[in-house]
Amino acid sequence: MTTIKLTGNVRLRNPIFIEGLPGVGNIGRVAVGYLVSELKAKLLATLYSEWFFPFVMLHDKYMIHLLKNEFYYVKATKKGQRDLILLIGDCQSLAPQGHYEVSEKILDFCQKMGVQEIITLGGLATGDLESPGKVVGAATSEAMMKKYSKFKIDFNAGDKVGYIVGAAGILPAIGNERGMDGLCLLGQTSGFPIVTDPKAAESVLNVMVGILGLKINMGKLEKKVEEMEDFMKKVESLQRKAIGEISKAAKPPTGEELRYIG
Amino acid sequence: MTTIKLTGNVRLRNPIFIEGLPGVGNIGRVAVGYLVSELKAKLLATLYSEWFFPFVMLHDKYMIHLLKNEFYYVKATKKGQRDLILLIGDCQSLAPQGHYEVSEKILDFCQKMGVQEIITLGGLATGDLESPGKVVGAATSEAMMKKYSKFKIDFNAGDKVGYIVGAAGILPAIGNERGMDGLCLLGQTSGFPIVTDPKAAESVLNVMVGILGLKINMGKLEKKVEEMEDFMKKVESLQRKAIGEISKAAKPPTGEELRYIG
Amino acid sequence: MTTIKLTGNVRLRNPIFIEGLPGVGNIGRVAVGYLVSELKAKLLATLYSEWFFPFVMLHDKYMIHLLKNEFYYVKATKKGQRDLILLIGDCQSLAPQGHYEVSEKILDFCQKMGVQEIITLGGLATGDLESPGKVVGAATSEAMMKKYSKFKIDFNAGDKVGYIVGAAGILPAIGNERGMDGLCLLGQTSGFPIVTDPKAAESVLNVMVGILGLKINMGKLEKKVEEMEDFMKKVESLQRKAIGEISKAAKPPTGEELRYIG
Amino acid sequence: MTTIKLTGNVRLRNPIFIEGLPGVGNIGRVAVGYLVSELKAKLLATLYSEWFFPFVMLHDKYMIHLLKNEFYYVKATKKGQRDLILLIGDCQSLAPQGHYEVSEKILDFCQKMGVQEIITLGGLATGDLESPGKVVGAATSEAMMKKYSKFKIDFNAGDKVGYIVGAAGILPAIGNERGMDGLCLLGQTSGFPIVTDPKAAESVLNVMVGILGLKINMGKLEKKVEEMEDFMKKVESLQRKAIGEISKAAKPPTGEELRYIG
């Protein structure tokens, strides 16, 4: 089961939903995390799921932290801006089917909040870095592509990538089946999953800020990344470590004479 | 969860259901895909499932494409013909249990549409190719076998094969438990899963066309296969690649001193 | 999901439930299969499950056979006998959790039929064969052990075995949590899972026949085993083969430059 | 499914819930097991789950034992004491998602019984044993940390551990999402999972006894551990062995010419 716990009772006007969960280069996570912090977004809801790894993290020395995703919101303050729902989190599903279930729950919640447009942010691991700072785009319709064609987005993703794994692809795709519009922005990066790429995150963030009609001071981004990076690396390496322990536990012990009945 | 989204509100008269999902040699996929195209079949419903791989494909350079199966329909235009429901798609379930769940949903939908007869098309990987063009058959009853004995079908499958994995076998078998009749047509092929075999697909298609009392121009088949092949290969190799990435991610990192608590 | 489809509408009086699904040495399968055949038991219900392997077998050359378990019944004809429900089948669950789900469904059905006593038959793989023909017993209570102490059952299983995997153990154990009594009879065998052991099956069958107050001609057992063995071996080796194919499919292809996005 | 079967109909006043399931060094299991025995706690409910391994253990030579967790209760007898619910058991979930499902069911039951405070006991595998007898703590809030700061608990777990796998971490964390307070006490141990560490268990038990305002004779702890150890080792090694058998069964047989159809 995947559970979403509401924090407050806020009404938003035609909000855009922006996803930034961990992934290649942690680009979405960094970009949306910085938006949350700079826009002083407020907590809207918390999602936790049996598809996340079954451990708790400890932070501030003794505090128990359940792995989760969090929805934040920002109300528009000027003309030309829109209400925002921002999704960040510690992790995505461990198992393939979990991605679908978690995404469906996220979309249920978005629909309840009146979302009609989804933007997901992620990374594109090219291996080589021929064009640093490039933001590649994918969309659920020609109209969406055209709507955002004035921003610095390279809509030739299909030529070089082919597929998007996890929330960044699944959310706009299933959202589209439910009648929502979707856009996916991918920052080009070298593609070592545990290395956070703040430069690529900044490129994606710049496009995002343009789309939203916001002004954001990028000066604190690098410092913010340093703060976040430690925790993000910890979750990822612990997740790998724990999966390793589990597989080790599955090996039969030697020097033991046991019998098998059926 | 597996979801079927209806596109229109069509009523069909005693339709035959014909399945052609990807499999060995992509024979069913090619044969039914060609029927859809030549008969100008119309979209009836779309199925997507958490048992499919959690990624989206990009096509036409920027367009997000959710992995799915699609039901098409064709209304009979002449005497001796019957209304058809044709199922094609990008993939089958990744996990063993998924095959059952997806098949049950397909059959729920078929029953709602009034289907009493199921024909599945697939490939038979013999390794050696002693008799090219041979179509091997299996059925859910002696009556079904006899009904189709006048077509060029070799009903000795049990001698040389033994089992059918996935939708081609599960659909008629569970359908039969629900009181429907089932036939399975398998084109003999060399058995390299990622190599599409248009010749074997044509053999199966010829039998199918005979059964349905249709006239189909086979001239465009080869060209159609070329068009489809690129996409089918992409799905399959990306699926393998992505599964590879997932297993790699499960390996514990080295040179790290972590502690395990319980 | 696991589904049980009723064949007829029979009422039984306080029936004993006897399980004989495939396992070590296929001892339960052979023993209960022989009871079904010799007692001319009638089909009561069919169980199929998404926890079974997603393929169909072909038998009689062209006939599609869904993997399933089958309940048969026999009505008592003499004083001292009791009504029987006999469970045989092609396979058990592929995945650990499946064993619980399938067992719960079997017990739901048993309770609906008024079963208060469960006897499971299986094999005990000792590796060495110091005492051929020995039948080892386990029970859910001291009362059950005493009730059957007059038969040739060695109730010291705990000394040499320690655990029973699958239906033979789970059914009486969960049955007991529901207030039913349970007995498990295990024939000692060498323990090569794919080798059917008709001698061990005969030992278990002899005890079973004594418990049920029946007279059975054992003369046809060997011939019956020959008939069954071919099919049982096929299911087992195909299951292994298919699992092998599935793992092979999960290996990433080489010589291909793909990108991974998230 | 995970099922909790109530044994009696007891009403408790604001009970503390204390968890001691098997884990690193079996510290929680030993400590809470000793509390159950010394306080003559009475059985309150039994939990079994499809996430536990699908085998039964045999004990007392012939008795079938289903893997389970058990809730016990103790009523306060003196001022300053509180009613207790104690959880011990044979095992935790085999699969990652199972931990969440089982924990949610445990918390459902706790809430029905009026629990507002959760304490989990476990082990901390440090590898080296610089400070034997140390008890490390984690909590769901600063208030909880302060409430228990007068006991010999080192609230610097985050510095040296980072994460807690399974029930010891998940229970207080999800409990906290439901409005309950949580504390986790971890005894430092060398970290060989199958080696029970009675010294570390005693340290944790001493803290626990202080918190509960109880007087417990520690004299029988060592003897109790010996009694329990045999069974705990058996469950663990059999679980490993059985998982090994299952993986072995998945290997395809050689020297066999089978065909694969789709």
Which pLDDT value is given to residue D193? 56
Contact of B238 with chain A, judged by CB distance below 8 Å, is answered with yes
The closest alpha carbon to A22, from A193, A161, A199, belongs to A193
CA-CA distance, A20 to A23, in Å (whole number)?
Answer: 9
CB within 8 Å: B172 and C64: yes
Look-up: residue for tokens 């799905």? Answer: B235
Which pLDDT value is given to residue B249? 44
CA-CA distance, C73 to C16, in Å (whole number)?
Answer: 10
CA-CA distance, D160 to D124, in Å (whole number)?
Answer: 10
Question: CATH homologous superfamily for A2-6+12-215?
Answer: PAC-like subunit (3.40.50.10900)
Which pLDDT value is given to residue D179? 95
The per-residue pLDDT for range B214-248, each reduced to its tens digit, is: 999 999 998 888 888 777 777 777 666 655 555 44
Q: Which residues contact A32 (CB under 8 A, 6 or more apart)?
A: A18, A19, A20, A86, A87, A88, A121
DSSP per residue, D6-73: E-S----SSPEEEEE-S-GGGHHHHHHHHHHHHTT-EEEEEEEETTS-SEEEEETTTEEEE--EEEEE
Which stretches of chain A drop beneath a pLDDT of 70? Answer: 127-131, 160-161, 191-194, 238-262
Contact of C248 with chain B, judged by CB distance below 8 Å, is answered with no
CA-CA distance, B84 to B12, in Å (whole number)?
Answer: 8
CB within 8 Å: A145 and B62: yes
Interface of C with A in 124-183 (CB under 8 A): 124-127, 160-166, 168-169
Query: Is the predicted pLDDT of residue B99 greater than 70, yes or no?
Result: yes
Cα four-point dihedral sign C37, C39, C40, C44: negative
Contact of A247 with chain B, judged by CB distance below 8 Å, is answered with yes
Question: End-to-end CA distance of chain D, in Å?
Answer: 33
* Nearest CB neighbour to C170, from listed D51, D54, D250: D54
B256 pLDDT band, cuts 50/70/90, is very low
Instruction: Count CA atoms within 13 Å of residue A150 on its CB side.
Output: 3
CATH number 2.60.40.10 given to B2-249:
no
CA-CA distance, C5 to C44, in Å (whole number)?
Answer: 9
Interface of C with A in 46-65 (CB under 8 A): none
Query: Exposure of B216 by Cβ count < 10 A (0-12 exposed, 13-18 middle, 19+ buried)?
Result: middle
Mean pLDDT within B98-110: 95
**Backbone phi and psi for residue A101, each to the nearest 5 degrees, phi listed first:** -65, -45
Chain A hits for B70, Cβ within 8 Å: none
The closest alpha carbon to D117, from D71, D92, D93, D148, belongs to D148
Per the rule left: phi > 0, alpha: psi between -120 and 50, beta: everything else, D26 is left
Which pLDDT value is given to residue B252? 34
Which pLDDT value is given to residue B193? 56
- How many pairs of residues across A and B have Cβ atoms under 8 Å apart? 120
**Backbone phi and psi for residue A70, each to the nearest 5 degrees, phi listed first:** -130, 135
The per-residue pLDDT for range A234-250, each reduced to its tens digit, is: 777 766 665 555 444 43
Chain B hits for D164, Cβ within 8 Å: 261-262
Kind and range of the H or E element at D248? helix D221-249
Residue type, C55: F
* Nearest CB neighbour to C62, from listed B97, B157, B163: B157
**Chains interfacing with B (3 or more CB pairs < 8 Å):** A, C, D
* Nearest CB neighbour to A162, from listed C162, C165, C258: C258
**Backbone phi and psi for residue C238, each to the nearest 5 degrees, phi listed first:** -65, -40
Best residue in D128, D194, D197, D261 for a mutation probing chain B (most B CBs within 10 Å): D261
Query: Is the predicted pLDDT of residue D79 greater than 50, yes or no?
Result: yes
Residue type, C111: Q
CA-CA distance, C213 to C236, in Å (whole number)?
Answer: 33
The closest alpha carbon to C220, from C193, C198, C235, C188, belongs to C198
Query: Is the predicted pLDDT of residue B161 greater than 80, yes or no?
Result: no
Chain D hits for A98, Cβ within 8 Å: 97
Contact of A248 with chain D, judged by CB distance below 8 Å, is answered with no
Determine contact, residues C125/C141, Cβ cutoff 8 Å.
Answer: no
Widest pairwise Cα distance in chain B: 76
CB within 8 Å: C139 and D234: no
CB within 8 Å: C62 and B158: yes
Contact of D249 with chain C, judged by CB distance below 8 Å, is answered with yes
Chain A hits for D162, Cβ within 8 Å: 57-58, 234, 238
CB within 8 Å: A166 and C262: yes
Which pLDDT value is given to residue C236? 75
CB within 8 Å: D238 and A249: no
Contact of B95 with chain A, judged by CB distance below 8 Å, is answered with yes
Which stretches of chain C drop beneath a pLDDT of 70? Answer: 127-131, 160-161, 191-194, 238, 240-262
Count of CB atoms within 10 A of residue A220's CB? 13
Q: What is the DSSP letter of A14?
A: S
Range from B109-118, D100-109, D148-157 carrying the lowest mean pLDDT: D148-157
Which pLDDT value is given to residue D231? 76
CA-CA distance, A130 to A132, in Å (whole number)?
Answer: 6
* Nearest CB neighbour to A237, from listed B52, B95, B253: B253
Mean pLDDT within D234-258: 51
Correct CATH for D10-222 of 3.40.50.970, 3.40.50.300, 3.40.630.30, 3.40.50.10900: 3.40.50.10900
In A10-155, which ranges are continuous DSSP H helix?
27-38, 96-112, 142-147
CB within 8 Å: B262 and D191: no
Residue B9 C-alpha, separation from nearest chain D C-alpha, in angstroms: 32
CB within 8 Å: C262 and A164: yes
CA-CA distance, C172 to A54, in Å (whole number)?
Answer: 31
3-state DSSP call for residue D92? Answer: coil
**Chains interfacing with C (3 or more CB pairs < 8 Å):** A, B, D
Which pLDDT value is given to residue C256? 32
pTM for this prediction: 0.88
Determine contact, residues A171/A28, Cβ cutoff 8 Å.
Answer: no
The per-residue pLDDT for range B177-193, each reduced to its tens digit, is: 999 999 999 998 876 65
* Nearest CB neighbour to C60, from listed B158, B238, B242: B158
Mean pLDDT within B95-114: 93
Instruction: Count CA atoms within 13 Å of residue B45 on its CB side.
Output: 20
Look at C228 and D183; give whichever has higher pLDDT.
D183
Percent of chain B with pLDDT over 90: 58
CA-CA distance, C45 to C262, in Å (whole number)?
Answer: 48
The per-residue pLDDT for range A12-31, each reduced to its tens digit, is: 999 999 999 998 888 999 99
The per-residue pLDDT for range D24-36, each reduced to its tens digit, is: 889 999 999 999 9
Chain A hits for C162, Cβ within 8 Å: 258-259
Q: What is the DSSP letter of C234?
A: H
Query: Is the predicted pLDDT of residue D211 greater than 90, yes or no?
Result: yes
Q: Which residues contact A184 (CB under 8 A, 6 or more apart)?
A: A119, A120, A121, A122, A137, A138, A139, A164, A168, A169, A172, B64
Burial B139-173 (b: 16+ CB within 10 A, else e): bbeeebbeebeebebbbebbeebbbbbbbbbbbbb
Q: What is the DSSP letter of D150?
A: T
Q: What is the DSSP letter of A25?
A: G
The per-residue pLDDT for range D38-72, each reduced to its tens digit, is: 999 999 999 999 998 888 888 778 999 999 999 99
Correct CATH for C13-236 of 3.40.190.10, 3.30.420.40, 3.40.605.10, 3.40.50.10900: 3.40.50.10900
CA-CA distance, D124 to D137, in Å (whole number)?
Answer: 10
CB within 8 Å: A172 and B238: no
Rg (CA), chain D: 19
